[in-house]
Chains A and B, each alone.
Chain A
Amino acid sequence: MIDVQNLHKYFGELEVLKGVDVHINRGDCVCVVGPSGGGKSTFLRCINLLEVPTKGDVIIEGVSAMQNMRYIDKLREKVGMVFQQFNLFPHMTVLKNVTFAPVKLKKMTKEQAEQRGMELLARVGLAEKANEYPNRLSGGQKQRVAIARALAMEPDVLLFDEPTSALDPEMVGEVLEVMKQLAESKTTMIVVTHEMGFAREVGNRVLFMDGGIVAEEGTPQEVFGNPKSERLKQFLSKVL
């Protein structure tokens, strides 16, 4: 359902992505691992065009993103994103954070969105925080609200950009638990993460990105149990 074709991205002179081809199927939970500076986040941000690729294309549900930059907002409705720094809207309550986009984009009426928003907040275990402002929440709670906010647009795919990297260690679990439930309910997800345990347990595919390319990919068993390239072996020996 998402086809990444020959993706190149330059930042000035620096070539961050050097030709990435990835196909993502419905229901996949793809985990992207690799060293810092390997292009993981840039790859993810190219999928919803937060970074515009220098070359190549991203096909979302058969629609070329690069040829439809004018309708980019419509395409982005289908691609939810969860950020490392949460990026909740601080001037809105938790519920408003979740309902704002669906209501503003006329996807739902206010009543529908609020009902749906409460369901989603209940799903991430935060229904009782609906009327709080984000600054009253812990990091883990913020990230769970951010997940609910992304889900409220009913996207076809959810992108996670290191969702637990900014969290205190004791809060990582609650966020991963929510993500695991999403994966189990066959939500299509692409997760850039340093949580190897999560990638191994929850992902059905793992991409190892290094030097701007997908250096190795396969099932978690293949990537973690039987790494082929020297570079991946080296990486795993450091992080595991």
Chain B
Amino acid sequence: MFDWFFDAAAGFSDAVYVSVIKEDRYTYLLDGLWVSLQLTFFAALIGVAIGLLVAVAKLQNLDSPSKNRVTGVIRKWLVGLANGYVSIIRGTPAVVQLLVIYFIIFGRLLQPVFPNVPDLAIAAIAFGINSGAYVAEIIRAGIMAVDKGQTEAGRSLGLSGAKTMIFIIIPQAIKNVLPALVNELIVLFKETSVAGYIGMMDLTKGATTIGSVAYDYMIPLLCAAYIYFLVTTVMTAGMNKLERRMRRGD
């Protein structure tokens, strides 16, 4: 009467055995996760660094007087560069950006100068450049939300514009947008699943590799999905905890 159930269960356990346990195939998933996490970590560092710089560049007020003509021209160029960068990154898919940076920038243009850059570094740079545009917009919104009086208070004490920005405005801006930044981190982590396009053995690529040797994609892909879900859930929980703690500090 329950034969179908035992058949299904036996079939399932066979599938799990073939996909995960046989020949230690689970290591594809664990190693892949490790690659994805490293990639996310380094890309996030690069993204935040770029994001901060671009946010500040985009907020340059070109109406306010420059110290001299040269700095005026430099500022104008910086604003143009920052605007162009954000538009291009937001207007093109991450996979295409990754492929362009891997095959054209590092594969051709920079090949003579940097012939042996590891794939992990190239991918981290590519994802970092991608993430930087979104981080820049988040931080820009955060900076604009800080009361103008804070800038005036800093400047009236004799602090330079840069010191006021770094020590007074940005700490408050980051605090305001921390939830949005964690959200971007989650997006970035999931985005790294396309790293297989340039031959990286990330979590997704690990799952499809198992699928191709075990002739069964279902179990490895479900495992990969579950691992992604687990990691993003941990990130979300961390964000909620952080948010609660910060609300207490306000």
Q: Which of A17-25, A100-108, A201-209, A211-219 contacts B (4 or more CB under 8 A)?
A: A100-108
Q: Counting CB contacts under 8 A, is B199 at the interface?
A: no
Q: Are A104 and B153 in contact (CB under 8 A)?
A: no
* 3 closest Cβ pairs, A-B complex: A77-B158, A87-B153, A101-B157
Q: Are A153 and B250 in contact (CB under 8 A)?
A: no
Which residue of B149, B154, B157 has the most chain A CB atoms within 10 A of its CB atom? B157
Whose C-beta in chain B lies nearest to the C-beta of A83? Answer: B149
Q: Are B155 and A50 in contact (CB under 8 A)?
A: yes
Q: Are A89 and B150 in contact (CB under 8 A)?
A: yes
Whose C-beta in chain B lies nearest to the C-beta of A149? Answer: B157
Q: Counting CB contacts under 8 A, is B61 at the interface?
A: no
How many Å lie between the Cα of A70 and that of B68 in the bound state? 9
Q: Are A87 and B158 in contact (CB under 8 A)?
A: no
Q: Are B159 and A104 in contact (CB under 8 A)?
A: yes
How many Å lie between the Cα of A133 and that of B172 in the bound state? 14
How many Å lie between the Cα of A104 and that of B155 in the bound state? 13
Q: Assuming the A-B contacts A69-B65, A104-B163, are A50 and B156 also in contact, with contact meaning beta carbons closer than 8 angstroms in the complex?
A: yes
Q: Are A105 and B159 in contact (CB under 8 A)?
A: yes
How many Å lie between the Cα of A101 and that of B168 in the bound state? 11
Q: Are B156 and A89 in contact (CB under 8 A)?
A: no
Residues in A with CB closer than 8 Å to B149 are 83, 85, 87
Q: Counting CB contacts under 8 A, is B90 at the interface?
A: no
How many Å from the CB of B91 to the closest CB on chain A? 35
How many Å lie between the Cα of A48 and that of B158 in the bound state? 10
Q: Counting CB contacts under 8 A, is B34 at the interface?
A: no
Q: Assuming the A-B contacts A77-B158, A104-B163, A105-B158, are A83 and B175 also in contact, with contact meaning beta carbons closer than 8 angstroms in the complex?
A: no
Q: Are B168 and A77 in contact (CB under 8 A)?
A: no
Q: Counting CB contacts under 8 A, is B147 at the interface?
A: yes
Residues in A with CB closer than 8 Å to B175 are 91
Q: Counting CB contacts under 8 A, is A73 at the interface?
A: yes
Q: Are A89 and B155 in contact (CB under 8 A)?
A: no
Size class of the B contact interface (CB-based, 8 Å)? 20 to 34
Q: Are B152 and A104 in contact (CB under 8 A)?
A: no
Q: Counting CB contacts under 8 A, is A173 at the interface?
A: no
Given B157, B167, B250, which contacts A77 in the complex, CB threshold below 8 Å?
B157
Given B67, B68, B147, B250, which contacts A87 in the complex, CB threshold below 8 Å?
B147
Q: Counting CB contacts under 8 A, is B84 at the interface?
A: no
How many Å from the CB of A162 to the closest CB on chain B? 13
How many Å lie between the Cα of A105 and that of B152 in the bound state? 16
Q: Counting CB contacts under 8 A, is A80 at the interface?
A: yes
How many Å from the CB of A86 to the closest CB on chain B? 8
Q: Assuming the A-B contacts A85-B149, A87-B149, A91-B175, are A70 and B67 also in contact, with contact meaning beta carbons closer than 8 angstroms in the complex?
A: yes
Mark each residue of chain B from 134 to 167: 1 if its CB lies under 8 Å from any CB of chain A, else 0.
Answer: 0000000000000101101111111110010001
Q: Are B156 and A79 in contact (CB under 8 A)?
A: yes
Mark each residue of chain A from 70 to 101: 1 if its CB lies under 8 Å from any CB of chain B, else 0.
Answer: 10011011011101010111110000000011
Q: Counting CB contacts under 8 A, is B80 at the interface?
A: no
Whose C-beta in chain A lies nearest to the C-beta of B149? Answer: A87
Mark each residue of chain B from 226 to 250: 1 if its CB lies under 8 Å from any CB of chain A, else 0.
Answer: 0000000000000000000000011
Residues in A with CB closer than 8 Å to B157 are 76-77, 80, 100-101, 105, 149-150, 153
How many Å lie between the Cα of A100 and that of B152 in the bound state? 15
Q: Are B158 and A89 in contact (CB under 8 A)?
A: no
How many Å lie between the Cα of A91 and that of B68 in the bound state? 34
How many Å lie between the Cα of A149 and that of B158 in the bound state? 12
Mark each residue of chain A from 118 to 135: 1 if its CB lies under 8 Å from any CB of chain B, else 0.
Answer: 000000000000000101
- A-B contacts, 16 of them at CB < 8 A, read A50-B152, A50-B155, A50-B156, A73-B155, A73-B159, A73-B160, A76-B156, A76-B157, A79-B156, A81-B156, A85-B147, A87-B147, A101-B154, A101-B157, A104-B159, A133-B249
Residues in A with CB closer than 8 Å to B163 are 104
Mark each residue of chain A from 172 to 191: 1 if its CB lies under 8 Å from any CB of chain B, else 0.
Answer: 00000000000000000000
Q: Are B158 and A153 in contact (CB under 8 A)?
A: yes
